[in-house]
Chain A
Amino acid sequence: MKRIMGYSDRISVCPHDTIRFMVSSEAAGDYSARLVRVIHGDTNPEGPGYKEEAIASTVTGRYPSRRQEIHAGSCAVVPDHACLADLGSFTVQALVWPTTPAKGRQGLAGRWNGRTGAGFALGIDESGGLALRLGDGRGGVAEVASGKPMLAREWYFVAASYDAATGTVSLYQEPLVPYARTDTAVAITTPVALRVPGNVQAPVLFAARHAGSKGSRTLFAEHFNGKIDRPRLACRALTRLEMEQVRGDQIPVALQSSMLGVWNFSKCISSETIWDDSPNRLHGETFNLPARAMTGHNWTGEEMAWTHKPEQYGAIHFHDDDLHDAGWEVDFELTIPAGLKSGVYAAHVAIDGDEDFIPFVIRPPRGTATSKLLFVLPTASYLAYANEHMVTDAPLAELLTGQVSTMQPADMFLNEHREYGLSCYDSHSDGSGVCYSTRLRPIVTMRPKYQSWLGGKGSGLWQMNADLHITDWLEAEKLGYDVITDEDVHDEGYTALAPYSVFVTSTHHEYWTKQMWTALDAFKKHGGRLVYTGANAWYWRIAYHPTRPGVMEVRRAEGGIRAWAAEPGEAYHSFTGEYGGLWRRNGLAPQRMAGSGFTAQGFDISSYYRRKPDSFDPRVRFIFEGVGAEELIGDFGLIGGGAAGLELDRADRVLGTAPNALVLASSENHTGVYMVVLEEIYINSPGLCGGESDLVRADLVFYETPAGGAVFATSSIAWAGSLSHNNYNNNVARITGNVIRRFLDPAPF
């Protein structure tokens, strides 16, 4: 079991920048820390093995162990305010769409002092129905409950009023859609003996219950799963008619002075702010990034973009496993000294036989380049898969891989510690898709030495640990290189790429923002050369949070291989308002970027490429120097035993492959586990798997660009796993080296 883990506040730094590291160690005694430059992460004894360069730094030392906890679950908080100071009578109401009403107590809206037990809290009780809890602050608690469970995924109007003068409580639980023989409506008016004090001294809280504090952190409990729309707080007991009158966005003049809070979640959707339309301006903040731009109770289906009809997107979907920032205290920090080579680095922490690597990139000194060759680490894609739980949650995992799933100790930890946050391949505990992911937490899947169940027979490599095969080969070939992240490209645009002549990709950079796309497109238009050593790239359009670095969003809109599907009307990113889904459905299929795009996937064994007539064209003679005409390319390797495997791309003129592109070789003989991607299937039919469909193949593609540059695509995630075969002496390494050396030559193509 994992006992030590950590994360950093940044993932890419330049010399003189400072990066902070947060560590949780459950072992006794001090743990050790040191800085390493990571060269190779694959521990497979069939390959070259793990490689690092130890770096002397101020980080080196021993640090006291301490357990740092993560508190997942989202909510929204409005700080206590003077206008709430003497609140006696009140009405609290909202429209809610519970997704797990049967899970136990859940907070909806309230003002409850967790320390004194004073206040009120409207929520769902153990019966799955609405309940109002009142506390007098002296240990007395009264509760009025509907006693009828609400239906999951149905909109309800819920309200409770309390008249302090008479001690009368009214409670309403009303479904917006009626069903025959299914009555879940409740209206109760009853006296309570207990008196709620006016001076509660507590924030207004939505979707959770205040549970005290620990250190400087406020703790929450009883997190609600589901949507809340248009919550209201009034300073007196409204009648049912008055509740109806303030349900909408226009508050009648006669009732305006009774309203303390008229929250409008359709405003400030791209932020963490919750907006109060009332003159009191009881604005608040969401905590742990609940999903915004969610369809409200009044969504008609006539408009799909929240930016066009925000008033129909007044709901926030809260989850009990949302997470933004683990919020751990800093254990140590490092100011990057001058003179460190650009590369992939990690803070290595270890204790009692367990270890963790906290990876990050050191860039060249700001504004400079130390090589003409650039390797870009795809951290957005790492975030999309961060701490994924497919093997523990999805029965189809074993079908995808064609082998019994294997798990690592870190996977076991994640299975039992859902508070470490989910990936965009997971579903929340209520079954809704996870559209946000953050790097401000330990990410066990983004580590050297990590073996993934998804990484094929052999080394089991996926994402970062597969990408380290590329850095290892660059080192072995003595090809100097700089490293930056895709997040840097997003932030800085073409400026980040301009100093370089060759852009070498990762094995699988599936998730790209518009800013990244236009930056790389500009690089090509300036004559830059692109070496695409992977597959299934430029697939999903994503967005970054506008003010919170390290948080990405993906809306899994129509089409594509998806672990979940965006609900109707929820295909536009909340962070930017951009349409989500595949880049292909946004008019920019990956073939337009690199001549090749996603066509098939399978995760058992890999295969090889066979040369095609185009490979003998004099234009590409340089690529095949030292490669025989009849040689199979890549019929070896650590990822599934071949260079063509896991996910595969193909050239397609219709999807944007340049007309001058040459298809140099194609893979063949893939297993029946390989299947054609969903976006190619309009009418499903037999014959769509490896060995049957011509679409199950990887194309080796080359083409020249108008600016004198060129593009080379391997179209396979497994390619990198063959580079080190036979002590780096093999045709995959030879072809890759031939391409990169010619691409570094400034002579135009």
Chain B
Amino acid sequence: MYQITPEDRQYVDEFRKTPVGRHSPGLQRILNLFRGEPMAGKYVLVCTKPHREWMLGQFTGVRGEKIRMTNQSFTSLDEAEWYVFKQRWKRHTGEDLPD
């Protein structure tokens, strides 16, 4: 499995600008790692107002169990992507990314 390296820091700004869409191979490799995480703890957005508001949750990894909802709410899917990216970056590198 791929491991994040210090050189990968260069792709953070690219993700911040374009969280969903055409990415450099370097960013795509990071995203394949982040987005491929197992169901236990995997992030999910639950729509609370169609096209306007989403709450962040996490799967438990057990089939049929309720999703654990966080208190994070978003009015922009791009902002939600950025928040989840930061959590995953922190877990893999220990670094807190600035907003």
Contact = CB atoms under 8 A, between A and B. Distances in A.
Interface string B45-63: 1110011001000010001
Interface string B61-88: 0011111000000000100110010000
B30 to A, nearest CB: 12
Contacts of A391: 44
A404 B43 contact: yes
Contacts of A402: 20-21, 31, 35
Interface stretch (A392-400, A498-506, A559-567): A392-400
B63 A429 contact: yes
Given A393-B63, A402-B31, A407 B38 contact: no
A671 interface: yes
B40 to A, nearest CB: 9
Contact of B80 (A45, A404, A669): A404
Given A406-B44, A412-B46, A395 B37 contact: yes
B84 A671 contact: no
B36 interface: yes
Q: Which of A45, A402, A416 has the most CB of B within 10 A?
A: A402
A406 B45 contact: yes
B4 interface: no
Contacts of B90: none
A406 B47 contact: yes
Contacts of B43: 404
B59 A396 contact: no
A669 B19 CA distance: 17
Contacts of A79: none
A451 B36 contact: no
Contact of A407 (B39, B45, B84): B45
Contact of B44 (A44, A407, A691): A407
B28 interface: yes
B17 interface: no
A453 B39 CA distance: 16
Nearest to B63: A393
A2 interface: no
Nearest to B39: A395
Interface string A416-433: 101000000000010000
B73 to A, nearest CB: 14
A69 to B, nearest CB: 16
B64 A418 contact: yes
B32 interface: yes
B36 A403 contact: no
A442 B23 CA distance: 39
Given A43-B50, A396-B36, A404-B45, A671 B67 contact: no
B39 A412 contact: no
B42 interface: yes
Contacts of A45: 51
B80 to A, nearest CB: 6
Nearest to B28: A672
A606 B23 CA distance: 14
Interface in A496-550: none
B22 interface: yes
B72 to A, nearest CB: 12
Which secondary structure characterizes the binding site on chain A?
A: loop
A391 B50 CA distance: 18
Given A407-B44, A416-B66, A691-B22, A398 B51 contact: no
A223 B94 CA distance: 47
Nearest to A398: B35
Interface string A448-491: 01010000010000000000000000000000000000000000
Contacts, number: 87
Contacts of B65: 416
A408 B67 CA distance: 12
Contact of A451 (B42, B44, B47): B47
A671 B22 contact: yes
Contacts of B37: 395
Nearest to B24: A672
B85 to A, nearest CB: 9
B22 A398 contact: no
A223 to B, nearest CB: 15
A672 B59 CA distance: 26
A65 interface: no
A671 B27 CA distance: 12
B98 interface: no
Contacts of A415: 64, 66-67
B25 interface: yes
Contact of B21 (A404, A409, A604): A604
A43 B20 CA distance: 21
Interface string A376-410: 00000000000000011101101100111111110
Contacts of A451: 47, 50
Contacts of A604: 20-21
Contacts of B28: 672
A416 B19 CA distance: 30
A395 B36 contact: yes
A402 B65 CA distance: 24
A406 B47 CA distance: 7
A316 interface: no
B53 to A, nearest CB: 11
A403 B46 contact: no
Contacts of A412: 46, 67
Given A451-B50, A605-B21, A672-B25, A404 B84 contact: yes
A668 to B, nearest CB: 12
A505 to B, nearest CB: 27
A395 B31 CA distance: 14
Given A393-B39, A393-B63, A415-B67, A406 B32 contact: no
B46 A407 contact: yes
Given A43-B50, A412-B67, A398 B36 contact: yes
A671 B43 CA distance: 23
Contacts of B21: 402, 457, 604-605, 671
Contacts of A429: 63
A409 B81 CA distance: 20
Interface in B5-20: 19-20
A408 B47 contact: yes
Contacts of A672: 22-23, 25, 28
Contacts of B31: 402
Contacts of A403: 19-20, 77, 81
A160 B99 CA distance: 68
A44 B22 contact: no
Q: Which of B21, B59, B65 has the most CB of A within 10 A?
A: B21
17 contacts: A391-B44, A392-B67, A396-B36, A399-B35, A402-B21, A403-B20, A403-B81, A404-B81, A404-B84, A405-B45, A407-B44, A407-B45, A409-B47, A412-B46, A415-B64, A415-B66, A605-B22
Given A407-B47, A672-B23, 14 more contacts: A45-B51, A395-B37, A399-B36, A402-B21, A402-B35, A404-B44, A405-B44, A406-B46, A409-B46, A412-B46, A415-B64, A429-B63, A449-B50, A671-B21
Closest 5 CB pairs of A and B: A398-B35, A406-B45, A403-B20, A672-B28, A605-B21
Interface of B: 19-23, 25, 28, 31-32, 35-39, 42-47, 50-51, 54, 59, 63-67, 77, 80-81, 84
